[in-house]
Chain A
């Protein structure tokens, strides 16, 4: 398994990340960039800051990439998530997957980003144009207690 998850406090080198997906037998390579958006829920956003519980974030991220390898016929998959302060347009999270055929590459990329957003202990603080800021703790529904895993 060549999968990996990492946290980075520096801007991502997208070309280098994509290069790690190279394979002569991979006819498909899908990458996803999650970028900092200038608005959320109707409020203008000027920048973001991400905080992570690094040890558990790395372990859970690695687990998710490993799950993608088990579920889909991919050759390589990887994900890097930024921490620290980011400006509008910065890449906050990058996911890539390569596979012999496109279906597996698309599905694996989608699986990894969805599970990262759902499970990895990383939090986003939005700073708004009006000077306010706030940690996003989405849903409002009870979170599961981890007993299933």
Chain B
């Protein structure tokens, strides 16, 4: 399956890019994060992140589909 990943804040710095297209067999965001963390060394444990799929907050065990946009969200610091 192909996924579109967006990166923000420290994850963007670690990944060295703001987006990437990823080909993966990951069934859910948890497995996908393990793959990209292994590749980029993202530096944040999944317990500290939230995940969004196609622009909405999602759970880590949500089933992924081909073409999904997946975003791993570091702890927010707006305001």
Q: Answer yes or no: B40 CB below 8 A from chain A CBs.
A: no
- Looking at the assembled complex, report how far the CB atom of A59 sits from the nearest CB atom of chain B, in whole angstroms: 7
Interface of chain A, main secondary structure? mixed
> Which one, A11-19, A22-30, A102-110, A119-127, is touching chain B?
A119-127
Q: Would you call A53 and B74 a contact (CB within 8 A)?
A: no
User: Which residues from B are CB-within-8-Å of A143?
Assistant: 47-50, 75
Once bound together, how far apart are the Cα atoms of A114 and B31, in whole Å? 32
Write the B59-79 contact mask toward A (1 if CB under 8 angstroms, else 0).
110000000000101111111
Interfacial chain A residues near B76, Cβ < 8 Å = 117-123
A144 proximal to B (CB < 8 A): yes
Residues of A within 8 Å of B56, CB to CB, are: 56, 59
Known: A119-B76, A120-B76. A149 touches B10 (CB 8 A): no
Are A145 and B78 closer than 8 Å at their CB atoms?
Answer: no
- Provide the bound-state CA to CA distance between A57 and B44, in Å: 21
A99 interface contact, C-beta 8 A = no
Contacts of A140 in B (CB 8 A): 48
B6 neighbours in A (Cβ, 8 Å): 53
What are the 3 A-B residue pairs with the smallest beta carbon separation, nearest first? Answer: A122-B78, A146-B57, A123-B9
Provide 23 A-B residue pairs closer than 8 Å at the C-beta atoms, listed in order of the A residue: A51-B9, A53-B52, A53-B73, A55-B55, A56-B52, A56-B55, A59-B56, A81-B78, A81-B79, A121-B8, A123-B8, A123-B10, A123-B74, A123-B76, A125-B9, A135-B77, A137-B74, A137-B77, A138-B77, A143-B47, A143-B75, A144-B50, A146-B50
B residues at A contact (CB < 8 Å)? 6, 8-10, 12-13, 44, 47-52, 55-60, 71, 73-79
